[in-house]
Chains A and B, each alone.
Chain A
C-alpha cells in the first residue's frame, strides 16, 4: 500500500519561501507511469492543483503559480518537493501531495502552512 507523507515548516514569514517534502513509502517513486502532484486547500475552501513532477524531472505547473513554483524529485530518497517563493497570506493553506496520472489515487494527510509574521 503506497503511502505519502508531507513534511516541512508549519509557519512561513511573508515574502519568504515555502518548502515542503513528500516522502513516498510502500513503493518506489520511480515505478509505474505515475506523476506526483501538489494540491492545496485554504481553510474552508476548495482544492487547487499546484503542479506535478515525473520521475524524469519533467514538470507541469498551474499558470496561476508558475512564476513562483518549483517541484522537484529525488528518486534516491523516494521524495518529491515543493518550493513556493514570495509567499503572502493568500498562500496559507493545507498542502497535500498526491500520486496520479489522470486522477489522484493516493494522497498524503496534508500539512497546514500558515504565512504570518
Chain B
C-alpha cells in the first residue's frame, strides 16, 4: 500500500495568517495515464469530508481561492491563505493512483 504521511499533525494558526500542510507519499503518485491523483479533503467537526483540491492543484467547485495545492511526484503541499474561523477542522491528503486508495493521518487546523 502507498503510505501517505502528513506534517504537521496539528497546526495552530492565527486568524488572517497562512497555514501550510505537507503530504509525502511512499511512492510516486504519477499514474500510467499521466495524471497524479492526489487530492485534499477538509473535514469540519461533525461533518463528512469535503473535496477541496484534486489532481494536485485543481480547486473543486465552490472552494475559495484561499486554498491552493502544489507539488509533484511524492511531495505535495496544501496552503491556506488568510485563515478564517470556518477553516477549522481536519485536513486529509488522499491518493487514488494505486489500489488501495489511501489517506494521510490528517492534520488538525486550530485557531490560536
Task: List the interface of chain A (C-beta within 8 A of B).
Answer: 37, 46-49, 60-64, 96, 100-105, 107-110
Contact = CB atoms under 8 A, between A and B. Distances in A.
Contacts of B94: 47, 103-104
A105 B54 contact: yes
A110 B48 contact: yes
B54 A49 contact: no
A96 B103 CA distance: 14
B39 A47 contact: no
Contact of A102 (B54, B60, B100, B105): B54
Please report whether the interface of chain B is mostly helix, strand, loop or mixed according to DSSP: loop
B50 interface: yes
A92 B27 CA distance: 30
A71 to B, nearest CB: 13
Interface residues of B, number: 22
B54 A103 contact: yes
Contact of A103 (B39, B48, B100, B102): B39
B100 A64 contact: yes
B76 interface: no
Interface of B: 35, 37, 39, 41, 48-51, 54-55, 60, 92, 94, 96, 99-106
A56 B78 CA distance: 35
B103 A48 contact: yes
A5 to B, nearest CB: 11
12 contacts: A37-B101, A46-B105, A49-B102, A62-B99, A62-B100, A63-B100, A96-B48, A100-B96, A102-B54, A103-B39, A103-B94, A108-B48
A52 B45 CA distance: 26
Contacts of A101: 96
Given A105-B54, A105-B60, A60 B99 contact: yes
